[in-house]
Amino acid sequence: MGVRLQVFGVVLLGLLVSGGAGLLMHRVEMDNAGQALDRRVAAAQESVASTAQRYVDAVQLTAGSLEALPKIDAASFTTATAPLGQLWLPGATSIDLVVSVPDSSVAAAQADWRALGAAGLTLRGTAGVGRHYFTVLQRTLGEGAGPGAGADAGDVGQDLTGSAEASAALERAGRIGLPAISDPYVLPRDTGLPPQDRQQSVVLLQRVVDRVTGELRGFVQMTVRMQDFFVDTMLQPSRELLDVTLSALDGSGWQPMARMERHDAGAGDLRRTVLVQVADQQWQLAAGTDGTALIGADGHLDEGMVFGGLALTLVTALLVYTLATSRRRAEDRVTQATADLRHQATLLSAVMNTIGDGVVVFDPDGAAVWVNPTARGLLGHDIDRHPPAEWPELLEAYEADGVTPYQFRALVRQQVESQIELVVRGRRLDVRLRTLVGQDGAGGAVAVLRDVTELHEADEKVRASEELLQLLLDGARDYAIYMLDRQGVIESWSGNAERLTGYRADEAIGHSYGMFFTAEEGAAGVPRRILDQAAEHGRVEIDGPRVRRNGSRFWAHGLLTAVRHPDGTVRGFVKVSQDITERKTAERAVEQLNAELEVRVAERTADLREANAELESFSYSVSHDLRAPLRAVDGFAKMLALDHGDALDEQGRRYLARIRAGAQHMGDLIDGLLAFSRLQRQEMASLRVHLDQLVADVWEELGVERGTRDITLSVGDLPDAQGDPRLIRHVVANLVGNAVKYTRDVSPARIEIGHRVGPLSGEVMYYVKDNGAGFDMRYADKLFKVFQRLHRAEDYEGTGIGLALTHRIVLRHGGQIWADAVPGEGATFYFTLPAYENTGHTGHMLLEVGG
Amino acid sequence: MKPLSNRVLLVEDNPDDLELARLAFERGRFARNVDVARDGAEALDYLFGPAAADPPQVVLLDIKLPLVDGIDVLRRVKADQRTRHIPVVMLTSSAQDRDLHACYELGANSYIVKPVDMEQFMAAVNSIGLYWLGLNLTDAHS
């Protein structure tokens, strides 16, 4: 029941509304149409006036340029009228020069104009007229227009007096001096056309006068077919929606000149009439149309409204009926769907809240509308509470390099899946973005975020270690590193291995490493044995000749290291090979060099021995031969003293004593030199030297020098030294003797002998200290030089050889000697010797000295 | 027993040394004849020539000699059965003469550092055990 009532109500209401709306719409339409017509008529009026004015202007301009000509002939007319050919003047058929000719001179004028270029001009005068107005020159315009003048269309030579309308216009134009327009008439040239093509035309006339005398030279005439003119002029303002008629007034009323009808003829219930002023004439423009013609495509809005309303009413009623009957079903479906959706949403929400991946849902504008807890944790912010513009600052996200700030881009409205890596808050996120496109095109996107930091770091580590390994393998350019299986079959290969052996990877892998061995070694089973040794001992080092792919040999140093399975069985070997050919060559060169060196050393040693022998015999003979004259001096001086001493006075005997002392001193010098030079050549023993015993012996020997002097000797504990006892005895004798000698003027004299641990390990430092004369340290550098003395001979005798000899002995033992002294206070001499090492060699013990 | 020769052979090329030695013997009233050879060759001629049957009681032999070196003379004397018993005292310029060592190995009996004087001569003679020369000298002195 309710449904029927509803439908009835809907129908009734629809009818009322449709009818009322139709009436109202009709009224509105009519008002609107009147206003539209007014606008269009005004536009048409403006169009006719302005277009006609262009024709008038063209005629005036032509007349003006002809007036400027001193002489009008065919050529100058053509030139003067040339611009008109460029103008768009619809309906204008020609522009002409019309001249006035008295009936009596028609023949002469014809001859004259023919002479002026109007070829073939024939003047056809109207009978019974005293003065003719002939068209003598002509330029056709519009379609078929050509440059030629006077060679047209049949009305050149025509007399305008044949037409009442043209004559009247001629009369006005000549009188007013301004353009005049004729009443419409059919041009004589158009009279031959079929009636439907015959148009009303007008002529525009402007007189041409001599500017000096004011004498009339003729008229410029433009002929215009009005229908052509009108159609073109009206096309725009009418849009074929109007009936328009252009009329001119003549004696009998408004004469239509041109007419244009609208596309669909209708009631024509709207009309307007306006006047158009053109030159000296007034034209009437009449327009008519239907009220509906001007609005919309069909102009039947009011009717459409009624019928549409009815239809709508019916449909609505139907719809209401359908809706009412199926609402329950729809409600049920909606309820079910809502429940399903709720269920799905719950499931989805549960999934989203629990999965380890971050999920962000974006709306089509790119704003985050939903963020699951994982995403919130990964991003550190609820980005759904912030517009995308704030994200760059909020998230501080970087691209995979961790440095370049990530530029958030707008989501594209296409189905796109993309994957990027971002670094957010120090964590590396793998982001998979999938844009969603709904049925309407708008979609949004879902982003799935996964923390791949650890994965990435692990990858990085693997990559770094692989890189490192590769660097190592490549970097160790001199080493070929490759893998063998338990049987010695090559499993891996490297660029360096190829460089070393000449075999490419495909030529090496799968082959036994035995191919690098020489044929002899291969036959002897060397490769096999090496593997077995490496398996047994873990690793094995081998040197040997190897063969390259091209057969050339090189010397290789190889290291085989066994690689084991977890259970300890040998899985294979790592082989590291190095080309040591150069090293081998160098070693051989060194060996050869050493051999040569030994030969050379032997040669040199022989040379040296020879030289030494020569030197020895030289110094031997020197010492002997130098002594001989000395002996003579001393010997005979002695004889002189003994045999003839009584004959000499005291002074003479003193002189003799001086001679003998000099000779003896020279003998000492020669002895010292001899000892000094001999030390260079003498071979040194390396025995245990008891310094304390040596000191005791020397002290005993110095008994004569000491005499009855008051000397306190203190000897500390003296460790044994290693060296030549005879030579070291000289050192001790020299230093202690010096101490005795240089304390001669001191009483009591004190001499102290002791030791300290040497500055270097394995040596002992001894010292001999006295409180004697000392010396000036400024001259310490002369202390150990031969014949250099720091004291005058009359103060302390000496040869200047003793300390030099001591110095040399200490040096030959690898020790050092130096002194510290203050003049008048004493001197301390330090020297170092190798400490005695108890090597247990009894042979040395037997040769011990001083015990 | 074969009567003892009363001669001494002095082998010395240097006239000064020779003169000083003679002077020393003279001053020491050394009674024996002192024969002189001026080089090694002459010494050998003397020892293995006319004097072979009656050798000198002692030879004072300079180490450095012209023609035949003193060491060579010594070697020849000590190598020969006929002369090896003759005592030889080397004359040297220096007690540090490295040749002295060689001389002892060759059989030299003693040495004297030149110039020759009586004290050294007597010490050498005594060390050799030529007591008769000392007696003789004592006789001569007395």
List the structure tokens of A521.
């070694």
Closest-CA distance of chain B to residue A616, Å:
10
Interface contact A636-B14, CB threshold 8 A = no
More confident residue, A485 or A433: A485
Interface contact B114-A627, CB threshold 8 A = yes
Taking alpha carbons only, the member of A55, A41, A42, A46 closest to residue A279 is A55
Interface contact B98-A678, CB threshold 8 A = yes
Q: Which residue of B has its CA nearest to A673?
A: B96
Interface contact A632-B17, CB threshold 8 A = yes
B94 touches chain A (CB under 8 A): yes
More confident residue, A844 or B45: B45
Backbone angles phi, psi at A162, to 5 degrees: -70, -15
- Report yes or no on A12 lying in a domain: no
Residues A528 and A593 reside in one and the same domain: no
pLDDT average, residue stretch A51-56? 87
Question: Is residue A149 very low, low, confident or very high in pLDDT (cuts 50, 70, 90)?
Answer: very low
Backbone angles phi, psi at A72, to 5 degrees: -100, 120
Interface contact A628-B27, CB threshold 8 A = no
pLDDT digits (tens, 9 = 90+) for A87-103: 788 888 889 999 989 88
Number of domains comprising chain A: 5
pLDDT digits (tens, 9 = 90+) for B83-95: 899 999 999 887 7
> How many C-beta neighbours within 10 Å does residue A753 have?
23
Taking alpha carbons only, the member of A682, A684, A813, A821 closest to residue A742 is A821
Interface contact B96-A639, CB threshold 8 A = no
Tell me what pLDDT residue A582 has: 85
pLDDT digits (tens, 9 = 90+) for A67-92: 888 888 888 888 888 888 777 888 88
**Domain end point (choices A644, A662, A682):** A682
**Which among A143-157, A660-674, A687-701, A753-767 has the top mean pLDDT?**
A687-701
A600 touches chain B (CB under 8 A): no
pLDDT average, residue stretch A287-300? 62
Interface contact A631-B17, CB threshold 8 A = yes
- Report yes or no on A25 lying in a domain: no
Question: Is residue A475 very low, low, confident or very high in pLDDT (cuts 50, 70, 90)?
Answer: low
Q: Which residue of B has its CA nearest to A619?
A: B97
Closest-CA distance of chain A to residue B17, Å:
7
**First CA to last CA distance, chain A:** 155
**Domain end point (choices A682, A703, A724):** A682
Interface contact B93-A631, CB threshold 8 A = yes
Residues A633 and A710 reside in one and the same domain: no
Residues A373 and A396 reside in one and the same domain: yes
Taking alpha carbons only, the member of A10, A534, A14 closest to residue A310 is A14
Tell me what pLDDT residue A691 has: 93
* Candidate from A621, A631, A678 with C-beta closest to B16: A631
Whether the ipTM is more than 0.90: the answer is no
Interface contact A674-B96, CB threshold 8 A = yes
CATH class of the region B7-136: alpha beta
Q: Which residue of B has its CA nearest to A632?
A: B16
Q: Which residue of A has its CA nearest to B97?
A: A620
- Sign of the C-alpha dihedral, residues A460, A465, A469, A474? positive
Interface contact B16-A675, CB threshold 8 A = no
Interface contact A628-B14, CB threshold 8 A = yes
Suggest the residue from A631, A676, A677, A682 to mutate for an interface test with chain B (most B CBs closer than 10 A). Answer: A631
Beta strands in A251-313 (DSSP E): 253-260, 270-278, 281-289
Work out the mean pLDDT of chain B and round it to a whole number. 83
Residues A739 and A830 reside in one and the same domain: yes
A609 touches chain B (CB under 8 A): no
Residues A833 and A786 reside in one and the same domain: yes
Query: What DSSP character marks residue A572?
Result: E
A785 touches chain B (CB under 8 A): no
A723 near A686, Cβ under 8 Å? yes
Question: Is residue B140 very low, low, confident or very high in pLDDT (cuts 50, 70, 90)?
Answer: very low
pLDDT digits (tens, 9 = 90+) for A368-393: 888 888 888 888 888 888 888 788 77
Query: What is the C-alpha separation between A782 and A786, in angstroms, rounded?
Result: 9
* Candidate from A623, A632, A675 with C-beta closest to B93: A623
Closest-CA distance of chain B to residue A735, Å:
21
Tell me what pLDDT residue A263 has: 66
* Interior/surface letters A621-633, b for 16+ CB within 10 angstroms, e for the rest: eebbebbbebbbb
Percent of the residues in chain B that have a pLDDT greater than 70, as a whole number: 87
pLDDT digits (tens, 9 = 90+) for B17-37: 999 898 888 888 776 788 999
Query: What DSSP character marks residue A158?
Result: B
- Sign of the C-alpha dihedral, residues A141, A144, A148, A154? negative
Q: Is the peptide bond before A748 cis (omega within 30 degrees of 0)?
A: yes
Q: How far is CA A837 from CA A725, A787, A811, in A?
A: 15, 36, 19
**Which among A210-214, A348-352, A496-500, A511-515 has the top mean pLDDT?**
A511-515
List the structure tokens of A116.
């002026």
> How many C-beta neighbours within 10 Å does residue B66 have?
11
* Interior/surface letters A537-566, b for 16+ CB within 10 angstroms, e for the rest: eeebebeeebbeeeeeebbbbbbbebeeee
Work out the mean pLDDT of chain A and round it to a whole number. 83
Taking alpha carbons only, the member of A447, A387, A386 closest to residue A422 is A447
**Domain end point (choices A682, A703, A723):** A682
pLDDT digits (tens, 9 = 90+) for A269-285: 778 888 888 888 889 88
Sheet of A368-371: strand order equals A368-371, A358-362, A445-451, A427-435, A417-424, A397-399
Residues A574 and A586 reside in one and the same domain: no
Q: Which residue of A has its CA nearest to B96?
A: A671
List the structure tokens of B117.
């004087």
Chain A hits for B63, CB-CB cut-off 8 Å, are 624
By CB atoms closer than 10 A (0-12, 13-18, 19+), residue A6 is: middle
Question: Is residue A291 very low, low, confident or very high in pLDDT (cuts 50, 70, 90)?
Answer: low
Lowest mean pLDDT among A369-373, A786-790, A837-841, B20-24: A837-841
A402 near A422, Cβ under 8 Å? no
* Candidate from B17, B23, B96 with C-beta closest to A628: B17
Interface contact B93-A624, CB threshold 8 A = yes
Chain A hits for B17, CB-CB cut-off 8 Å, are 628, 631-632, 635
Closest-CA distance of chain B to residue A806, Å:
18
Tell me what pLDDT residue A336 has: 87
A366 near A410, Cβ under 8 Å? yes
pLDDT digits (tens, 9 = 90+) for A327-372: 777 778 888 888 888 888 888 888 878 888 888 888 877 788 888 8
Lowest mean pLDDT among A100-109, A303-312, A686-695: A303-312
B11 near B61, Cβ under 8 Å? yes
Interface contact B16-A636, CB threshold 8 A = yes
Residues A449 and A402 reside in one and the same domain: yes
Closest-CA distance of chain A to residue B82, Å:
31
Size of interface A-B (CB pairs under 8 A): 46
Which residues does residue A721 pair with via DSSP β-bridges, in sequence order?
A689, A835
B81 touches chain A (CB under 8 A): no
Q: Is the peptide bond before A759 cis (omega within 30 degrees of 0)?
A: no
Q: Does pLDDT of A769 surpass 90?
A: yes
B:108-137 residues touching chain A, CB 8 A cutoff: 114-115
Structural domain harbouring A721: 684-846
Question: Is residue A758 very low, low, confident or very high in pLDDT (cuts 50, 70, 90)?
Answer: low
B:12-51 residues touching chain A, CB 8 A cutoff: 14, 16-17, 20, 23, 27
Interface contact A628-B16, CB threshold 8 A = yes
**Which among A249-253, A298-302, A643-647, A785-789 has the top mean pLDDT?**
A643-647
Interface contact B17-A670, CB threshold 8 A = no
**Which among A298-307, A522-531, A681-690 has the top mean pLDDT?**
A522-531
Pairing of strands A826-834, B7-11: unpaired
| Angle in degrees, CA A366, A368, A371, rounded to 5 | 150
pLDDT digits (tens, 9 = 90+) for B69-120: 899 999 999 999 888 999 999 998 877 777 888 899 999 999 998 888 888 8
- Report yes or no on A788 lying in a domain: yes
Interface contact B94-A674, CB threshold 8 A = yes
- Report yes or no on A166 lying in a domain: yes
pLDDT average, residue stretch A746-760? 85
Lowest mean pLDDT among A73-77, A301-305, A667-671: A301-305
Cα-Cα-Cα-Cα dihedral of A511, A512, A513, A519, to 10°?
A: -110
B6 touches chain A (CB under 8 A): no
B110 near B91, Cβ under 8 Å? no
> How many C-beta neighbours within 10 Å does residue A189 have?
17
B:58-77 residues touching chain A, CB 8 A cutoff: 63-64
Question: Is residue A456 very low, low, confident or very high in pLDDT (cuts 50, 70, 90)?
Answer: confident
Which residues does residue A712 pair with via DSSP β-bridges, in sequence order?
A750
* Candidate from B16, B23, B94 with C-beta closest to A623: B94
Tell me what pLDDT residue A3 has: 67
Lowest mean pLDDT among A23-27, A706-710, A763-767: A23-27
Chain B hits for A636, CB-CB cut-off 8 Å, are 16, 20
Tell me what pLDDT residue A196 has: 80
Pairing of strands B33-37, B7-11: parallel
Q: Does pLDDT of A504 surpass 80?
A: yes
Q: Which residue of B has its CA nearest to A638?
A: B20
Chain A hits for B98, CB-CB cut-off 8 Å, are 620, 678
- Report yes or no on A502 lying in a domain: yes
Q: Does pLDDT of A594 surpass 50?
A: yes
Tell me what pLDDT residue B1 has: 43
Residues A59 and A180 reside in one and the same domain: yes
Pairing of strands B58-62, B7-11: parallel
pLDDT average, residue stretch A17-42? 78
Tell me what pLDDT residue A693 has: 93
Tell me what pLDDT residue A301 has: 64
* Candidate from A627, A632, A634 with C-beta closest to B94: A627
Closest-CA distance of chain A to residue B99, Å:
9
Interface contact A631-B23, CB threshold 8 A = no
A681 touches chain B (CB under 8 A): no
Tell me what pLDDT residue B78 has: 93
Interface contact B27-A624, CB threshold 8 A = no
Chain A hits for B114, CB-CB cut-off 8 Å, are 627, 631
Amino acid at A659: I
Beta strands in B12-136 (DSSP E): 33-37, 58-62, 88-92, 110-113
A674 touches chain B (CB under 8 A): yes
List the structure tokens of A752.
């102290």
Closest-CA distance of chain A to residue B130, Å:
26
- Report yes or no on A651 lying in a domain: yes
Question: Is residue A219 very low, low, confident or very high in pLDDT (cuts 50, 70, 90)?
Answer: very high
Element containing residue A218 per DSSP (H, E): strand A216-225
- Report yes or no on A3 lying in a domain: no
Backbone angles phi, psi at A243, to 5 degrees: -95, 120
A665 near A787, Cβ under 8 Å? no
**Which among A423-427, A713-717, A797-801 has the top mean pLDDT?**
A713-717
Question: Is residue A711 very low, low, confident or very high in pLDDT (cuts 50, 70, 90)?
Answer: very high
Q: Read off the CATH number of the domain in which A537 is found.
A: 3.30.450.20
Q: Which residue of B has its CA nearest to A623?
A: B93
Closest-CA distance of chain B to residue A843, Å:
24
Tell me what pLDDT residue B127 has: 83
